[in-house]
Amino acid sequence: MFSQINSQLISNLERLGLSENEAKAYIGLVSLRETTAREIHEFTNVPRAKIYEVLKVLAKKGYLEVRQGSPTYYRAVDPEQVIGKIKDEFLNCAIETLSQLNKLNYELPKTSPVWYIQSDWGIKNRIREIIAGVREELIVFSSSPEFLQALEPEIQELEKTCNLTLIVDELDRFSSLPFEFRETKKEFKNEFTDFLNNIVIDGIQYNEEFFMIADGKKSITVHRAGDKREAVVIKLPIICYLQKMICNRMIKSGIF
């Protein structure tokens, strides 16, 4: 019987804080309505030796009601109420945790000017953070429409307040975006693209996808290292200034 139950439902309940056996038992309770521990065990395959302790934990959490007797009967609390309770507790915990984390702002003697990011979520979140802090100028090079599509609202807002330079390798691939782009000139395109896509270090091939300089003081580069995406954030003004000067020189020389 239990093999017919959606395994994704078990996984979702685990993500909401239930153990695997608690998730199975609660699904059994909802399915069987009023039932005994033995019936839940038979329906869900939660081990007989553990079923009473699992039901005790669910009762303590407020997810089921108990009717004492011989045998004892159990009934699930309405799922809408249970999920609402979990949501409220999770939200309150998240707010409290964020408040506590924000208080842990110790002043360190030195902080690193270079940061390394490996998750897609982390990369896009850091790009948005950098864009939010731009005051005067933003220079962007992209060979992947994915980033500019994801950042379209932020970039549109930025167009109103600062100097914006958007450089792409192939204009046709970015035609759906409402921006004015600079494109790599045809006479330089093959050489420039080959350079970006044929960087090999220690046997690993690197392909550049996105590069951004904010106010000449902070930059982020996103690339593929083999089959993994990673990014490097630099908050070293002299390096970022040199990066900006190189970009401006390439614009003036007609490469873009």
Q: Any idea what DSSP says for residue 120?
A: H
In this chain, the answer to whether the domains covering 2-78 and 114-252 adopt an identical fold is: no
Q: Is there a contact between 154 and 132 (Cβ–Cβ < 8 Å)?
A: yes
Q: Is there a contact between 149 and 219 (Cβ–Cβ < 8 Å)?
A: no
Q: Is the pLDDT of residue 191 over 60?
A: no
What is the pLDDT, as a whole number, of residue 213? 93
Higher pLDDT, 104 or 110: 104
For residue 243, give Cα distances in angstroms to 62, 141, 247.
59, 12, 6
Query: What ranges do the domains of the chain cover?
Result: 2-78, 114-252
pTM given for the model: 0.59
CATH number of 2-78: 1.10.10.10
Residue 87 main-chain phi, psi, to 5 deg: -65, -45
> What average pLDDT is seen over the chain?
85
pLDDT tens column, 47-98:
999 999 999 999 999 999 999 888 999 999 999 999 999 999 999 999 999 8
Higher pLDDT, 18 or 225: 18
CATH number of 114-252: 3.30.870.10
Q: Can you tell me the distance from the alpha carbon of 227 to that of 69, in angstroms, rounded to the nearest whole number?
A: 60
